[in-house]
Every structure is written in C-alpha cells, then in structure tokens.
Amino acid sequence: MARVNLPVEVARSYCHGERNHDIAASDIRAIVKTLELQFPGIGERLNRGLAVAIDGEIFQEWLLQEVEVNSEVYFLPAIEGG
C-alpha cells in the first residue's frame, strides 16, 4: 500500500479534509484513478499545478512514475524556479 498524502486545500475541497490515503497501485496514474473513483473531480485538480514526491524524490512530471509497495507519496505544489 502506498501512503498517499494530499495538500490540505485539495483534501478540504474533495475529501472532507482527509489528507492521508492508503492506495494499492503501481504508478501515480493508478493512484489518481483510484482517488477519482472515490472523490469525483479530484483527478482534474491533481493534474493542475502539482508536483509529486515519491520516497523523497520530487517529480514535476509524475504521471507514469512507478511506486513501490510501501512508498510514501506526497502531492506538493509544483516548484517554480527563478
């Protein structure tokens, strides 16, 4: 089970504030699909302006990134550079 953590503002809008979700999946796309089934509309929101950290490494492009059995997955604001 991947431990998935959502940003507070997304959790409040779509998941009644629940930020932590345990999801069985092999990549982030599957995680988003699972969340969308539970919380309709969240898929579109997650595709907007977010990066994903998987076990400590931050990905700006994350759709097909693979996830391990016990991975920690954090949805984060996309990191803008200057």
Partner 1 sequence: MGNKKNHLDAIKTNEKFRFIGTRPIRPDGVDKVTGRANFGADFSANGMIHGRVVRSPYAHAKIKSINIEKALKMKGVKAVITGQDFPKIDPSDKVVGEVTVSFYDMSQNVIARDKVFYDGHAVAAVAATSTKIAEEAAALIEVEYEVLPAVMTVIEAMKKNAPVLHKGMKTEGLESGPKRSSNIATRTEFRLGDPAEAFKDAEVIVERDYTTQTVHQGYIEPHACVAEISADGMATIWSSSQGQFMVRALVAKLCAMNTSKIKVIPSEIGGGFGGKTLVYLEPLALLLSQQSGRPVKMVMTREEVLRATGPTSGGHARAKIGAKKDGTLVAAELEMEYEAGAFAGSPVKLGCMTGFSPYNLEHVSCIGWDVVVNRPKAAAYRAPGAPVAAFAVESAMDELAEKLDIDPLELRIKNAAVEGTRAVYGVKFPKIGCLETLREAQATEHYQIPLGPNQGRGVASGFWFNIGGQSSASVIVNPDGTVIVATGNPDIGGSRASMALMAAEVLGIDYKNIKPLVADTESVPFSDLTGGSRVTFATGKAVVEAAEDAVNDMKRRAAKVWDVDIDQVEWKDGIATCIETDIHKPMTIAEIAAMAGKTGGAISGKANINAKGAGAAFATHICDVEVDPETGYVQVLRYTAVQDVGTAIHPSYVEGQMQGGAVQGIGWALNEEYVYNEEGLLQNTGFLDYRVPVASDMPMIDTVIVEVPNPGHPYGVRGVGEVPIVPPLAAVANAVSHAIGIRMADLPMSPPKIVATIDAAS
Verify binding: residue 70, partner 1, rule CB under 8 A. no
Range 31-60, binding partner 1 (CB under 8 A): 47-49, 53, 56-60
| Residue for token pair 């919380």 | 39
Residue 32, CA atoms < 13 Å, CB-side half-sphere: 21
Name which of 29, 7, 32, 31 is nearest 18 in CA terms.
7
Minimum CB–partner distance for residue 52 and partner 1 (Å)? 10
Q: Encoding tokens for residue 24? A: 């069985």
Verify binding: residue 9, partner 1, rule CB under 8 A. yes
Verify binding: residue 30, partner 1, rule CB under 8 A. no
Enumerate binding residues for partner 1 (CB under 8 A). Answer: 5, 7-9, 12-13, 17, 47-49, 53, 56-61, 72, 74, 76-82
